[in-house]
Amino acid sequence: MTRSSSEPMLVLDGVGKNFLVDKKSIVAIDSIDLTLRKNEFVSVVGTSGCGKSTLLNIVGGLEEATSGEVRINGVPVTGPGRDRGFVFQSYSLFEWMTVEGNIRFALEKSNHTKAEKSELVAHFVKVVGLAGFEKAFPRQLSGGMRQRVAIARALVYKPSILLMDEPFGALDAQTRGMMQELLLQVWEDHKVTVMFVTHDVDEAIFLADRVIVLASRPGRLKRDIQIDLPRPRAFDIVTRPEFAEYKRQILSDIREETLKVMAMEQP
Amino acid sequence: MTSATSLYTRLARLFRLRKDIHPTLFTLSGLFVPLVLLAAWWGATAFGLVKPLFLPSPGDVIAEGWRQLTEGILFTDAKISTYRILIGWLVATVVAVPVGVLMGNFRIIEGALEPLISTIRYMPVVALIPLSILWAGIGDLQKVLILFLGTFFQQALMIMDNVKNIDANLIRAGQTLGFSNQEILRRIILPAAMPGIWDTFRITIGWTWTYLVVAELVAASDGLGRRIMDAQRYLATDTILFGTLLIGLLGLITDYCFKKTGQVLFRWNKAGR
Ligand SMILES: Nc1ncnc2c1ncn2[C@@H]1O[C@H](COP(=O)(O)OP(=O)(O)OP(=O)(O)O)[C@@H](O)[C@H]1O
Ligand SMILES: [Mg+2]
């Protein structure tokens, strides 16, 4: 049972990206077709440098595709917009603002009244478990807490799509596990389509309805696996045999790509 | 034997790579070096190892300071020099902040100004004194102009770097939240770069102080720098030495003020853990 509906919400239509390096054009992503349904949780994995961040940035409108286009509910993406929330690996909080200030800043461009804004901020502070830290500055928080602020900041203005680029990459294993469960909780409660980039295969499977494996150099779609594990999921789901089978499949795909890249790098 | 080893280990503890030492020890070590130099200075003059003409004794220098203080020269000199420093530095800063910020954000502006500024900053300011007199006369304006020239170009480049060094994802976060370029510039880039810019302020006002003597080299009748240059004519080494030390001290005080103000202004920038 998945929570996502069958409507296509986010469509990547032949998306490609070339970078100019030393006057030579390098293909980072080569024509990716991908469709995310409304409220679907999709993880993207692949070897380092295969173009995961580039792909996410294109969907976020932070980088332009060289070819193809991204459509949200049928409308082509031309730049960043408030229908998409972004969570970066490096937290990227506004360090001169308090926890509360960071979250409130995201609401500045919305039409809520002052009271509504305060209510929303208070709600999301609670959702990410930071009650009591409203007045703290980011530098005073641990890595996990900072990333929770970033998640609250990306959710508070109710974007329909949440883009996350290795958001838990810098966290220790325990904190990471807690954050994954928190994210699932928030996703179940707040109905949002998620595109989640990670290089942690366990994390990708645990969270997602679908895992996309990218091929390397240039980035292409290698595999698209439906994860049919029951929800809500708890940490012990990793012990199920289906989980192990998904993991084996994805790891062998990634291994194949890594070997390919290493062979290319031989003189 | 054991005490020798323990002394050795205790000394060795002071030289662990990048490890903190007791704060009192840190402060004391900062006093230790000047005190040793002072003692050496005193010793060298007291035992007649150098002629007073070349190196006056600490006592002579203090007496000279006392004379200037009681005659009121010290205060008027310090006042006029501080005034020039502040104006010169402020004018440089008021221009350098927008120029640096624009250069740091727009490649086209960086491309247009960087080669020019980088060239000018290597030109010796002393060589510009004749021109500065031609352009700005012999009043305060000329002094301020020299201080401006000595400060501005370095400052603009440093502010450009401060702006470039902020986390680029902050800008991206601003874009995803729907802010316009102008809003991002004002509400994200500037505050994010501000602690760095403040450090630049602190460093560059130090440089402005070092240009004081150059600024008051020609066509000045007052000021700390002027006093030093005048003293050269009479070989009044005690006046020269006192003036130099005083400029150093005033620079140190300025630096301290900037440091403390920065700590208050950017409290968020201090790790709380
Ligand atoms: N601005 C850029 N200019 C030139 N090349 C770039 C640029 N950004 C990315 N690339 C190249 O595009 C490819 C994909 O980069 P990308 O950052 O998307 O990889 P990634 O899958 O996110 O890697 P990682 O897992 O290490 O984060 C890489 O080969 C990288 O060198
Ligand atoms: Mg990446």
Q: Is A1 in the pocket of ligand 1 (CB under 6 A)?
A: no
Mean pLDDT of chain B: 91
User: Where residue A96 falls among pLDDT bands split at 50, 70, 90?
Assistant: very high
CA dihedral for A176, A181, A187, A189, sign (positive or negative): negative
Q: Where are the domains of chain B?
A: 58-267
A94 C-alpha to ligand 2 centroid (Å):
21
User: Is residue A108 less than 8 Å (CB to CB) from chain B?
Assistant: yes
| CATH number for the segment(s) B58-267 | 1.10.3720.10
**Is the pLDDT at B69 greater than 70, yes or no?**
yes
The pTM for the full model equals 0.85
* Chain B residue nearest residue A93, CA to CA: B170
CA dihedral for B78, B82, B85, B87, sign (positive or negative): negative
Residues B192, A96: C-beta atoms closer than 8 Å: yes
User: Where residue B204 falls among pLDDT bands split at 50, 70, 90?
Assistant: very high
Ligand nearest the Cα atom of residue A62 = 1
The CA distance from B34 to B247, in Å, is 16
The CA distance from B61 to B248, in Å, is 15
Q: Is A54 in the pocket of ligand 1 (CB under 6 A)?
A: yes
The CA distance from A23 to B128, in Å, is 42
Interface test with chain A among B171, B176, B198, by most A beta carbons within 10 Å: B176
pLDDT per position as a tens digit, A177-224: 888 888 898 888 888 999 999 989 999 999 999 999 988 877 788 889
Q: How far apart are the CA of A66 and the nearest CA of chain B, in angstroms?
A: 19
Is residue B14 within 8 Å of residue B21, measured between CB atoms?
A: yes
Interface test with chain A among B167, B169, B177, by most A beta carbons within 10 Å: B177
Q: Is A147 in the pocket of ligand 1 (CB under 6 A)?
A: no
Ligand nearest the Cα atom of residue A44 = 1
Is residue B211 within 8 Å of residue B111, measured between CB atoms?
A: no
Rounded mean pLDDT, A87-104? 92
Is residue B235 within 8 Å of residue B224, measured between CB atoms?
A: no
Q: If contacts are CB pairs under 8 Å, which of residues 6-45 in chain A contact chain B?
A: none
Nearest-CA residue for ligand 1 atom 4 is: A19
Q: What does each C-alpha distance from B204 to A232, B154, B193, B251 come to in angstroms?
A: 59, 8, 16, 11
Outline where chain A has alpha helix (H): 52-60, 99-105, 114-127, 143-155, 173-190, 201-207, 241-265
Is residue A47 within 8 Å of residue A257, measured between CB atoms?
A: yes
Q: How far apart are the CA of A50 and the nearest CA of chain B, in angstroms?
A: 20
User: Is residue A64 less than 8 Å (CB to CB) from chain B?
Assistant: no
Ligand nearest the Cα atom of residue A23 = 1
User: Is residue A111 less than 8 Å (CB to CB) from chain B?
Assistant: no
CATH class of A8-83+159-265: alpha beta
pLDDT per position as a tens digit, A104-131: 999 998 888 899 899 989 988 988 888 8
